[in-house]
Structure 1
């Protein structure tokens, strides 16, 4: 009878794996760690260089006695990976003196491109050729050398599906986004308290829009035929704000609003409420709108009655705060949502809203907030659910508000279910 000798020696299981799988494993390590594997054996010497993802981080060089990375090296590295057919390029540039070349927008292979800077870094938009790019993200960058940088970017991306332009600076005051393939767009502009001359959107297949800007002087084209979800932060400049009056408009945002009136889910900032009041002769009808969120932030509510009247199919109304600033319009019938005039606004008594949510309910002006909520309960005929997110660490305060409103609702709105919960559940 022969006995088998057990092999109890160490086995290098990883080295027996296929090289493609090893490279995939190495891609999850920081580049400095994966490079250390090159000393293991001849087979491992160059494997780290074939990983599908390479991450270069110069933070280890930024010591008091160090000199960091030479800017010219960064530029050559970027151009090198573009020439080698990279699919996904993520550039977070904080190296002092680096100016990325315009060729960063020229690649036959790129599918995803992300450029971000800790400070404003310039990129000239000369030629854009990214025929396979589906995702483009640019944050805190100065773009230049083009009549319309945004238009040039989208024209050179033939299959682009998502575009994010965050804090993108430009000396050009014309913005135009045109793309038949774009589905998601984030355009967050900060242009030194000045109205752009012209803003156009020709994006018929766009589903999601997040847009922040000053009111443009004109909107030649606004095509959002497929829009479902939009977050809008339109603002007046300080000069427009200083000259705002009820007698004459200080701007005209009507064409833009007409372009988004088929949206289903809409978020309006407090700035936008001011634009609706002083830069819009009439508010369009939002026939498809079923979910509306309004940020109040202690502004006048003059634009809310005509807005709510023009949302005939609204189901869910969300107030992000109940900060209400009293104006002379509060004394007019249908001039506000409050009861200051002594009469109930018809936009509340005819409201189709079934779900009402109050976010950021807090101790500041709590009596006024409760009176507004009572008014909603008393006058909104279709209300089925009221949820208040109370920003308080005190459970007794939450219970007290909840009990008070439920007692009031027994007669004012008996079919409405009321919940008062901690604001931190939204975090």
Structure 2
């Protein structure tokens, strides 16, 4: 929709006492006739006719489901509430995009199911009492952190905060009460995250965490969780998490510190991987100047390999100095019973399919895992299939 189309209702509000078009004959028609005509028109035709008739706009606005405020520089929060309640009573979706000068947004509405707030840089506070709201998206740069108060949003299914925002430390502590049907949660890009983020929910199926900008202790208790995505230049501490039914885990590191990895780095890596060990599949993407491969001596000082890890594991790495042998050794240390392993590098994709059987005995003189509580992959492997694909244009 064009800007003129989006804002034609503003023209209407400013022209209550006269018609914009002196030849406006549509406004002479009865409302039931206009409603009947509207039901036969395509959306684009409805928008064009709104510019011709004040009465048409009034009737059309009463049934309009989608409402977009875009680049409304002189619009304040009182106007927004008034416009929605008085002129768009059927609106279900509200979009605020590039609306400067809005500082405090307070909406109480029983119809709205979708709200998107995007790039409203002066926004300081959002207060929502919207009992039928299902999707809430907040995105974009703001001059200062935006405080969110979600008073009545018990039907919220999808929530995304992407920008500088402030939420209460206990916002997600008991989602079964505050967001009992929440299924999809995305949090990222804020310096103002709580130092300890605890998420507890029986309904959550997807969680995405990215660019949290500061170290955060994260605890997730979500038995229904199916997929978790994590992307950051920091490695956060995942402690006491309970995600027994997660099927897919995607972890992306993007760290460039110009520092050699130490025991603290390796401990953080292993701690995070252990938090995701219930996952059926694990995708690990690494762009870092630090080594992902944990040396043998460092492994002994940490703790044994993860006893039950993902059956399908993919590693995408841009560090050419990591040898395939070292990567495989590290992967099988993470997940000794992995069945499908893929290593993606700049010029090659290496796939390994493995079949495991019963774990055989181990002698005290066997050095491969004699000091570990769990026996390594060497004692269960029965069959292996190796496939390599090379991109000749990038060399080998």
1:266 aligns with 2:279: no
Can you list the C-alpha shifts for 1:269-324, whole angstroms capped at 9, x where unaligned?
11588456389735744756343221110253545413135342423524143589
Paired residues in the alignment total: 310
Residue number in structure 2 paired with 1:70? 75
Structure 1 equivalent of residue 393 of structure 2: 363
Which residue number in structure 2 is paired with residue 87 of structure 1?
A: 112
The Cα RMSD (Å) is 4.3
Shift of 1:209: 1.0
Spell out the pairing of 1:15-414 with structure 2 (5 A cutoff).
Answer: 19=35, 22=38, 28-29=43-44, 33=48, 35-36=50-51, 38-39=53-54, 42=55, 45-58=58-71, 68-72=73-77, 76=81, 82-99=107-124, 101-104=125-128, 106-119=129-142, 122-139=145-162, 141-144=163-166, 146-147=168-169, 151=173, 156-191=178-213, 194-196=214-216, 198-213=217-232, 214-216=234-236, 218-234=237-253, 238=257, 242-245=259-262, 251-271=267-287, 274=291, 277=294, 281-282=302-303, 284-285=305-306, 287=308, 289-298=310-319, 300-301=322-323, 302-308=326-332, 310-315=335-340, 317-322=342-347, 354=385, 356=387, 358=389, 361=391, 363-364=393-394, 366=395, 369=396
CA contact (8 A) 2:121 2:143 kept: no
Paired position in structure 2 for 1:408? none
Runs of 5+ consecutive residues of structure 2 not aligned to the other structure: 1-30, 86-90, 92-106, 350-366, 369-376
Higher strand share: 2
TM-score, length-scaled by structure 1 = 0.59
TM value normalised by structure 2: 0.62
Q: Is the 2:135–2:157 contact (alpha carbons within 8 Å) kept by the matching residues of 1?
A: yes
In terms of fraction of residues, the more helix-rich structure is 1
Indicate how the Cα distance of structure 1 residues 208 and 145 shifts in structure 2: closer, same or farther if over 3 A, else same. Answer: closer
SS in 1 for 2:130: coil
1:78 CA displacement: 9.5
Please give the alpha-carbon distance, in whole angstroms, between the structure 1 residues aligned to 2:145 and 2:123: 9
